[in-house]
Amino acid sequence: MNNFKKIGLSALAGSLAAFTTANAVDMSVAGSAKITYKNGDTTEVTGNPFGMNTSLAFSGSGDVNGYETSMLVTSADQFGGMSSASVTVDLGDMGKISFDQGVGIGGISTIDDKTPSANEEVWDGLDAITGDSNGLVGGGNNGAFVYSNTIMGSSFSGQVTKGASAASSDDAVGGEGSTGTSWDFALTNASLAEGMNVGIGYGEIANAKTAGQNADSESGHMTAFVTYSVGMVTVGAQLSEVEDGTAGGDNESAQGWGVALNLMEGLSVSYGEREIEHQKFGLTTEDQEGIAVAYTMGAAKIAFQNNESTSNGGTTGTNDESTEIALSLSF
């Protein structure tokens, strides 16, 4: 999003200043609107395929007792009860400490899929069996304490959450009732070689059980990626493992790759594939592929995305397809 206006939100800024004894508070707001045409496969009834998503993000920062402190509040879908927020305290060389309520600013979920794409990931918009993470790592970000720092070119982001995991999905937050504790981290580096970006992540994610068999068990999430850009081309690959600790859980191994081309200023195209091995279903392999085209001019972007999957969610013969055309405007 692009900040479209610095506004003097005197009431909000005054409240923040009074509450935090800040010397000065700068507030800004940014917004976006996305109009979409979306079509599924022939077995799906989509109704009206046209829709619109809108969002606003309010951010503020100021000095609080000598520490630079920032706040972010976002709302989506016409403020229909969907909002998230985070507060961050900058400790200088000691790093940053944040509290995240659904924004998704830290931990392994920030690198769940780093394969290059001109628009969305190759799994975006595809169906999946309920509760199945489909080889995507992450433990949710509601009520998470996050620590981040950069040392010698490597960026670390770790978080701890009281509660359980939830399946990763686009633009979603996670967390269900549990007495367990989840923790995860991501470590990335973009300074090893020109054009190269690498990263690894690991986490022990509490499962949503409070009693009985496998109560408060944990699932292991692991991932590693590498991307490389030269000229107009960016290529990348990623490996992920999800070791499901629930009774009868589905251990998953995912391998993905993608290539994106900047054909001209503002115009890009990409293609990618993922394979997910589902052990629960006798090592059934789910195949996903997607193509994307996007053209950006200033604050406007028009994009085309087509994703397909076979053996969707690990079930043989269950296929899916999603096609989307979107116009996005940032303010």
> CA 208, 210, 215: angle at the middle one, nearest 5?
85
104, 136 contact by CB (below 8 A): no
Question: How many C-alpha atoms does 51 have within 13 Å on its Cβ side?
Answer: 11
**Total domains in the fold of the chain:** 1
| pLDDT for position 168 | 44
Other Cβ atoms within 10 Å of 278 Cβ, number? 23
Is pLDDT above 90 for 219?
A: no
212: DSSP letter: S
Beta bridge partner(s), residue 154: 151, 189
Compute the distance between CA of residue 178 and CA of residue 216 in angstroms, rounded to an integer: 7
pLDDT of residue 316: 87
Mean pLDDT, to the nearest integer, of 92-114? 94
8 A C-beta contact, residue 207 and residue 165: yes
Which residues contact residue 200 at a Cβ distance below 8 angstroms, ignoring those fewer than 6 apart? Answer: 186, 187, 222, 223, 224
187-215 residue pLDDT tens: 999 999 999 999 999 999 887 655 555 55
Q: By mean pLDDT, which of 36-45, 105-114, 171-180 is the weakest? A: 171-180
What's the mean pLDDT in 165-180? Answer: 50
How much is the pLDDT for 184? 95
CA distance from start to end of the chain: 7
pLDDT of residue 80: 53
- In the chain, the amino acid numbered 159 is Q
For residues 161 and 143, the answer to whether their CB atoms sit within 8 Å is: yes
More confident residue, 280 or 68: 68
The pLDDT tens digits for 148-168 are: 999 999 999 999 988 665 544
pLDDT at site 153: 93
Read off the pLDDT of residues 317-326 as tens digits, 9 standing for 90 and up.
Answer: 889 999 999 9
Q: What is the rounded average pLDDT of the residues 138-157?
A: 92
- State the pLDDT at residue 132: 59
Its domain, for residue 134, covers: 3-330
Polymer length of the chain:
331
Give the Cα separation of 234 and 227 in Å (integer). Answer: 7
Average pLDDT, the chain: 84
CATH number at residue 8: 2.40.160.10
109 Ramachandran zone, left/alpha/beta (phi>0; psi -120 to 50): alpha
**Contact assessment for residue 140 and residue 161, using Cβ atoms and an 8 Å cutoff:** yes
- Please determine, for residue 11, whether its predicted confidence score (pLDDT) is greater than 50: no
Residue 54, judged by CB atoms within 10 A of its CB (0-12, 13-18, 19+), counts as middle
pLDDT at 303 over 50: yes
Tens digit of each residue's pLDDT (9 = 90 or more) over 240-275? 999 887 766 788 999 999 999 999 999 999 999 999
Structure tokens at 138: 């992450």
Contact (CB, 8 A) for 247 and 213: yes
